[in-house]
Structure formats: C-alpha cells, structure tokens
Chains A and B, each alone.
Chain A
C-alpha cells in the first residue's frame, strides 16, 4: 500500500508540473494581457482610461518574459508564497484562495449531502420499480433536470423564493439563509446524475447471483435490498461522488457569480476575465491539486471498502487495471485513476 501511495504521489507531482506548463502556455496564447485589458477602457466606470495620454496603469509583472513569469510562479507554488496578484496587489494568491475555498466548501458539503439524501432513494425506487410508472416518471424528471443548468435553476429559485415569496435573500453571503438557494441549485444536477447512476448500479447488482441466493435463503426483499444490493451498489458510487464533491468544492462559476458568493468559482472567473496570471495560475493549480487528491482519496477508499481492489493495488504492480471477471471495460467519463478503478469494479455507464 505504501509503495502504491508513493507511486501515486510521484505521478501526482509530475501531473501537476504538466498541468502548470500546459496552463501557462495556453494562457500565454490567450489574446490580451492584464495591462492591456486595464487600459482598454470600459463603460463599467472606474476602468475608464485617460484620453490618449496621461498615466495609464501598466503592470510590470506581465511585461516580463514568459519564462521568467513561469519560473517565478513555480517557485511561489513550491514555497506556497505566490505573492500578490496583478488585480489585488495587497493580497497574495494563497490568501485569496484561502478565503474563497472555505466558502465553496461550505456549499459543496451540504450540496453533496443533499445529493446523496435525494438521489439514492430515487435511484433505488426507480430500480426496484423498473419499467413501471415510478421508473419512467423518475427517469423523465431526472433527464429533464439534468438538462437544466444549475444557474438557471438558481435564477428560478430566486424568482420564486426571493422575488415572489420574499422569504430568501436574492444574493450575497451574510448568513446561513444565503446558503439555501445555492445549495439547492448546486445539488440539482448532481442529484440527477447520481440517481441515474444508483438506478443502473442497483439493476446491475439485482441481476447478480448472490441476490437470488439471498432471496432463496428466505431473506425479505427489504433486507436483501438494503443489506446486499444497496451495499454493493454503493461502492462504484464513490467514484461519482468524489469528483462531484471536488467539482463543487472548487467552485461553480455561474452560481457563485450570479448569487454573489465569494467562492473559488467567482474568484477564478474574475481572474480569467482580467488575465490576472498569478491568480489564474494559482487557482488552476489549486483545482488540479484538489481533483487529484480527491481521486487519490477515492482510490484509497476503494481499497478500504473492497478487499479485491486492495489486493490488486498491493499485489499487481505491473497491471494496475484489474478487471472483474465477466465485466466489460467501460468508461464513466470521469478523470484519471478513478476511471481505472471503476473499470476494476465494473461500473456501468449511465
């Protein structure tokens, strides 16, 4: 296990270097720099420039050669002292991320819990009532919801609960009541995804021989469902829940911007709009770290939850891709190693 962890950590570091390089190169190719955009003028006052001459704001940082900017950033990343951003010269990159991350986390945790609480029963119901009205009804609803972007749902909630009923605030981040609309809006799409996943996973498990055996031994349907089917179906869900949580914890741009939530998504979108390179690079690397750590945790959790995976991890160095006998290789569309783990488990494409 230790060797496996060490290998994963080395791969994580290499991946991070690759992410930093690719991100930096791509950002260099994007037209416009912070200084140019600052001087572009704007009808959003405050960004207006002087007429022709005058002392236009120029940032020396983005005038340096690209390789110097990159080395300077990487040095800052390694020492976790990335210095001031272009836009916010009195705040360091790590301070801004440090302030924004807990906010996104505060939304991500309840949104993920809400997702689990709603998606699992709906998925179970749809699986048990396969090809019945409840199944078709829930599938139709879930598909519709899945097609609805979170920010649109947020706007809908604002119109109903803030503008119409006047029971919730429109936007801001001043207390727990400001969490309600964003948490619901953020949970909607993952709920639809997860519920469909639970349904498929349970249908898969219901076809397994041990279910027939358990029923034949006299187990009640309820007991078999909860103790055996659900339990086994839950293991692949870790793969889905991990990235869902990581995605929410690293901020959701539209909902955060729309509802005035000072989280990572809003910080990132603002940095991107203004070509604030230090903040953009810092935020991207932070996202990458969070996603990689979540994937690592998911894989470790697999090892803890399913002995077969742990055996594979410690005993099969040459081939880390273990295949469950009789299961085809499938893709979930999830990133990096978790996809491999899903394949090992035999997850089903939803």
Chain B
C-alpha cells in the first residue's frame, strides 16, 4: 500500500530533523571520542598531563619523535630500535650498557657477578634495593621465570622469539624452545637463592654480558603478567623495574613514560616526563616540527638525511659510532660475469669510498665489512681504492675497459645519491654499463632473492647492522647454520634454483646442506671454516686474532662489498644535555640526561 500524502509530508519533516539530530549526535560523540594523544595517560600511574613539574627532584618534559613502535614485549623479535629505546626505559636487566664506555657493562639489577674459569657459568648477585614499581623486590626467581618465558615455545606468537639462542647458548635452552623437553629444570638458568641467579652456557661467549644487557633479556613482572594475561601491556596497573613506568601507549600514536620512584638508581634519571610521538610520515614532517621547537629529539630522519644535513639544524645532528654497513650483495644469475672473483674484486676496489662518504653524510667511507664501533676493526683487511689494478683485473677476466661485459644492475628501493655516484664511478673507471634499478620495496624483496636470467646480473643494496657490534658477533653472523644461495653464499645458478625452491618450501637445514654440498667456492668455504674455528677458540687473545683473520677472508671474497658505514642518527636540541647515542640497536639511554626548559 502506498502511503498517503499526509504520511509522506510527515515522513519528510521527521526525516530531515532526524538526519540533523543524528548528525549533531554523531558530531558530539566524535568530539568526545576523538582520542587526542595529549598524554593524559591511564590515570592510574599518576600522570598529570602537564609540563613535567619538578617532583622528586626531576624536571622537564622530553619530547621525542620516532618510527611507530609495534609492541613492547621484550621476548619477541622484530621490534625496531625505537621500541628498544622504550623497552630499556621501562625495564632493567641483570646488567646494563655503561653510559661512559658503551663497550662495557655495569651492574643493573645485579650488583656484581662471577664468571667461572671455563667461561661457561655466570653467577649474578642481585642488589637488595632492586624493586618493581609496585614495591615488590626483584628476585632471582623473577629472572628464572623470565628466562623460562623467553624460551617457551611459541612465545613469539606468529613471529620469532627474541632470545639470541645461537649466541647466548644457554644449556638446554634450544631443546626447551623447540619443544624437545618441557622440563625447565634441564635448562641452565636457575635461581640459586632469592638473590643469586645463575646462567650456564654450552660454549663460552666473550659477548655474553653485552647480550645479557640487550632488550631480549629484560624481565617482566611475573605476578602482574600472569594475572593480566594478554592485557599485561595495559598501562593501568603497570609494573616494571626500570627507570620509568608506562603512563600511556597507543600503537599508532605514541607513548608517555613517567619516572619510577621505586627504581634503585632513580637519582641518575632527571626527566619528569617523557613524551614520545610515533611518526611514519617521513623526514620532512618531523624536521619541520623539530625546527619549530615542537620536538626535542627526532630519529625519524633516516629517509632523507640530506634534508637534515643541509638544513639550519644540521649542527644538532648527533651520530653514534658506526655499527651498520651500506653494502652491495651479489644476486644469483645465469650470467657468469659476477661469478668471477676477479671481476668482483675489480668492482670492489674501484669504489671511491671517500667521495661516497662526502655525498652520503653523516655516513662515512666503509672500506670493510667490520664497522668502526667494533674493537680492532682497523686490523681487518681494508679494501683499497685502486683503479689501475681494477682495470687490470677486469682485462684479465676478459673484459678490457668493460668491453663484452653485461649491464650491471644495482637493485634498491630507495633512491640514494651516493649509490648513483657509485654507479657513475664504475662507468667512468671501468667502462661498464651500470644501471640503478630503484623499485618498490615488495618488488625489491622479491627480486633480490630470484635466480635471474642471463640478461640481469648485479647487486642488491642493503643496510645491515652488526648487533651487538663485536668481532665475535660479526663472524658468528657470517657462519650461518642454514645455507643460502645469494650474497656471501653465492651458489651456481642451477644449484641456486634448487636451493631457492628448498628455501621457499622451508626445507630442513639438513636438506639445504645436502643441496649446497660441494658447490660453494673454495674461498667462501675457507672463510667460513676459519670463522667457525675462530668462534670455538677459548683463549680471548687467540680467538680475537683468529676472528680478525676470518673477517679479513670474508672481506676478500667480494660477494658482499661494503661501501659506507653508518651509525644511529638523532637530531637533539641543545636544551637536552648529556645525550649520546650509542652503537647498540637500543640507540640511547636517558640516564644523566636533562632537559633545560
């Protein structure tokens, strides 16, 4: 039945009013639910949302911008450096990095520690005044609970657990994590008594204390974590043992940290309020906000450092010692050009790294795969700049002045002026046809692992960190458990195809070893074997010498060619005092840092 005219008229009138009312109501709801990230916090941790005040001898609000932090669980891998900055603010491990000498550790929750003569057993003596933010004492049982949690199968959810079991080889840890046993008493991480915690390793590791100071060994508060379950991250009722507590955390917006007055060393931390904004909008936006004084610190500047180094705040850029390498990695290809070590060496020694360093500031020339944050880096073979020898090597390989050589591609997903300069250098010095292939990151990640046809050969560009930056860790990273088929483990194309299929199908390490058997170059196998032997040496000095030798051998294989070294870069306002970024992926600490407002 059709409605009559009266109904229609009434309907129209009511409809308009209803629409208007609905709009107003929606506007009102939206206005109250707009979720401004004004640092209001959870209301449960005493956040005043103000400018920091001067409570407990602390003053000033530190305003920092960083890439969005995905999560805060220290027992999960895949977090960014920025996440680690927050993590080491919230929690404290057994030992911490020494602010004055970052190559060393000082006591954290542990006041002192003993290392057995065989270098396998670490006994930590916990300080009496170490407390959780709710006043509970931090005990050895808390650490045993946390080691158990960190090694629990599936702790990484769909991701990867963070505990570095390949370098911090806790006895029985790998078996427990892989589910071979569910008896944690078989694992070498035990509370001897309330204040003594003992960790036993399967093999000595000169970096063990540095590893204990990293985010993956930070402790959660057992009782509140168990009680709150998946909601343990909720700032309401937050408990942690570091210099700060979490007042608010929104994954897409930012976080606010407030001082933990129960922290045993709270007098070394002077900031009353730490406001963190997450920015995934690139350098331009952050640089503007920083220049306007809206931020004290930003590390969100890496995708356009040129804009920073040419801006009026360039002198406020601070950089850590270098622990990263911008490098070129050979891709597998049916074209044999780059399978000739003479060609690779010619390419490596015809790079003018000093010039690239001038272009790629604040990065510096990187003549080896071992950057300068690593002790004894200068003793590792340094790749020279020798164009004459490069030409001679290329001619010897059958490509005089580049004649007959295929086009060499440099695959990247970000346009970097220094890479363009590198390509130009090869064109000018060696007469090669070099093309800079900049593509979308997904295409890049796909393309770099392909076994290319005869018409495509070259290198993919990437940036890697040695973390923690030590000679031991560098070599450990070069002696991988599972074989691969590109980069330093370059395999002939037909074998590489078979290996790619195996890798894509997640074949076992044994199967992959079988495929690679007898197909690696002897130079690679010699370097790998030298590395493995060096890692097993017990004497410190002897081991270091052998590690340097192995690192030098990797440097002269030239399937991975270093170009530049880089550190962590931050823009820091002059009002922020005593802040020095360090060479660990946690980038910085706020210990001793003040903000003069």
Q: B324 and A51: CB pair below 8 A?
A: no
Q: A36 and B445: CB pair below 8 A?
A: yes
* Shortest CB distance B177–A (Å): 11
Interface core residue of A59, A170, A175, A315 (most chain B CB under 10 Å): A170
**Bound Cα distance A305, B11 (Å):** 8
The answer, yes or no, to whether B251 is at the interface (CB within 8 Å) is yes
| Chain B 435-468 interface mask (CB, 8 Å, partner A; 1/0) | 0000011111111110000000000001111110
The residue on A at minimum CB distance from B479 is: A53
Stretch at the interface among A40-48, A138-146, A192-200: A40-48
| Chain B 67-110 interface mask (CB, 8 Å, partner A; 1/0) | 11011110011111111100000000000000000000000000
The answer, yes or no, to whether A99 is at the interface (CB within 8 Å) is yes
**Bound Cα distance A275, B444 (Å):** 13
**Bound Cα distance A99, B33 (Å):** 9
Contacts of A61 in B (CB 8 A): 158
| Known interface pairs A158-B288, A270-B280, A304-B12; A30-B302 also in contact (CB < 8 Å) | no
A:99-115 near B, CB below 8 Å: 99-100, 102-103, 105-106, 109-110, 113
Q: Which bracket fits the contact residues of A?
A: 35 or more
| Known interface pairs A102-B35, A262-B250, A304-B15; A41-B77 also in contact (CB < 8 Å) | no
The answer, yes or no, to whether A134 is at the interface (CB within 8 Å) is no
Contacts of A257 in B (CB 8 A): 280-282
Q: B252 and A172: CB pair below 8 A?
A: no
Contacts of B476 in A (CB 8 A): 53-54
The residue on B at minimum CB distance from A304 is: B15
The answer, yes or no, to whether B585 is at the interface (CB within 8 Å) is yes
The answer, yes or no, to whether A333 is at the interface (CB within 8 Å) is no
Partner of B294, one of A50, A170, A259: A170
The answer, yes or no, to whether A15 is at the interface (CB within 8 Å) is no
**Bound Cα distance A175, B31 (Å):** 11
Q: B442 and A275: CB pair below 8 A?
A: yes
Partner of B481, one of A53, A90, A178: A53
Contacts of A49 in B (CB 8 A): 462, 464-465
Q: A41 and B462: CB pair below 8 A?
A: yes
The answer, yes or no, to whether B589 is at the interface (CB within 8 Å) is no
The answer, yes or no, to whether A173 is at the interface (CB within 8 Å) is yes
Contacts of A178 in B (CB 8 A): 36
Q: B441 and A50: CB pair below 8 A?
A: no
Partner of B37, one of A37, A39, A174: A174
Q: B445 and A43: CB pair below 8 A?
A: no
**Bound Cα distance A163, B282 (Å):** 18
Q: B464 and A48: CB pair below 8 A?
A: yes
Contacts of A166 in B (CB 8 A): 292
Contacts of A79 in B (CB 8 A): none
Q: B302 and A43: CB pair below 8 A?
A: yes
* Shortest CB distance B36–A (Å): 6
Stretch at the interface among A6-14, A80-88, A217-225, A323-331: A80-88
The answer, yes or no, to whether A32 is at the interface (CB within 8 Å) is yes
**Bound Cα distance A110, B30 (Å):** 10
Q: B477 and A102: CB pair below 8 A?
A: no
The residue on A at minimum CB distance from B474 is: A51
* Shortest CB distance B9–A (Å): 8
Q: A54 and B166: CB pair below 8 A?
A: yes
Instruction: Sample 14 A-B pairs with CB under 8 A, ordered by A number.
Output: A31-B445, A36-B446, A41-B464, A43-B463, A45-B302, A46-B83, A49-B465, A53-B477, A57-B159, A57-B160, A59-B160, A166-B292, A171-B286, A262-B278
State the A residues within 8 Å of B (CB).
30-32, 36-61, 63, 84, 86-91, 96, 99-100, 102-103, 105-106, 109-110, 113, 158, 162-163, 166, 169-176, 178, 257-260, 262, 266-267, 269-270, 273, 275, 301, 304-305, 307, 310-311, 314-315
State the B residues within 8 Å of A (CB).
2-3, 8, 11-12, 14-16, 18-19, 23, 26-27, 30-31, 33-39, 67-68, 70-73, 76-84, 157-160, 164-166, 230, 233, 250-253, 277-282, 284-286, 288-289, 291-292, 294, 299, 302-303, 324-326, 369, 413-414, 416, 440-449, 462-467, 474, 476-482, 484, 487-489, 506, 560, 566, 568-569, 585, 587
